A and B are shown apart, each in its own frame.
Chain A
């Protein structure tokens, strides 16, 4: 095999006496041939978001479970009146709102990974993700609406 048989990729030019050691593109380098969809850093930001939201969720979700299941009689005290008392405070409204958004986006992004891992057919994967996104948007909007429009005197 002569050196001219070596196929070079990317912008590396032919090996020659003037160019004995051409640069080999790193496998993930972005070149003109890189498809548009993989040029951004979306997956890296998703990876970072899982970790940052996770740290905040530890406080929000474990605090929520402590309030709902442990303190003050545990689950036995939960009722409409109890919720009315809690959502009278902007602090707990904000707590629940942030918990809703972070947990739903964290969980949805996690499920996106799971679907990508196990659904091998393109079509199945696409529709499972569409179902996931629709359910996520619906749940986040409904939960947000409920917090903002809560009416303690509904009747």
Chain B
């Protein structure tokens, strides 16, 4: 990796990389998600069988990861929009990125119990 330039190797580039990776991941998830939801047209049992796997501890971890990806992409997407449309956006882009990261950390901490609580109880007993 060459030394950072105005853009390369700095916050702006890494937030772009993360935005791209999370966007692609969410798209692939959504493709599978519409397929699994379509099972409601097959039978209640077929749907409930698949959804049962969504309640296992390992998938709960994946769900936490999905929440992480969606929250980062959403918050950073709003930052990109602010950079493009707000007159002060480009100047404050770095501050806005750290605001995004801060809000993301708080929301991820808040999501810990709701999303992973049931997996924790299952693994370690009530």
Which residues of chain A have a CB within 8 Å of any CB of chain B?
Answer: 51, 54-55, 57-58, 61-62, 65, 69-70, 74-76, 78-81, 83, 100, 103-104, 107-108, 110-111, 114, 135, 139, 142-143, 145-146, 149-151, 154-155
Contact = CB atoms under 8 A, between A and B. Distances in A.
B51 interface: yes
Interface in B25-45: 26-27, 30-31, 34-35, 37-38, 40-41, 43-44
A135 B43 CA distance: 24
Nearest to A117: B20
B41 A70 contact: no
Interface string B40-57: 110110011001001100
B2 to A, nearest CB: 20
A82 B55 CA distance: 15
B115 interface: yes
A70 B110 CA distance: 10
B34 A100 contact: yes
Interface of B: 20, 23-24, 26-27, 30-31, 34-35, 37-38, 40-41, 43-44, 47-48, 51, 54-55, 60, 63, 67, 70-71, 74, 77-78, 80-81, 84-85, 111, 114-115, 117-118
Nearest to B47: A80
26 contacts: A51-B81, A51-B84, A54-B81, A58-B74, A65-B67, A70-B114, A75-B55, A75-B60, A75-B63, A75-B115, A81-B44, A83-B47, A100-B34, A107-B27, A108-B27, A111-B23, A111-B24, A114-B20, A114-B24, A139-B31, A146-B38, A146-B41, A150-B41, A154-B43, A154-B44, A155-B43
Contacts of B81: 51, 54-55
Contacts of B60: 75
Contact of A54 (B54, B78, B118): B78
Contacts of B67: 65, 69
B26 A54 contact: no
B19 to A, nearest CB: 9
A61 B54 contact: no
A2 to B, nearest CB: 40
B40 A150 contact: yes
Contacts of A107: 23, 26-27, 30
Cβ-closest 6 pairs across A and B: A107-B27, A80-B44, A70-B114, A143-B34, A54-B77, A80-B47
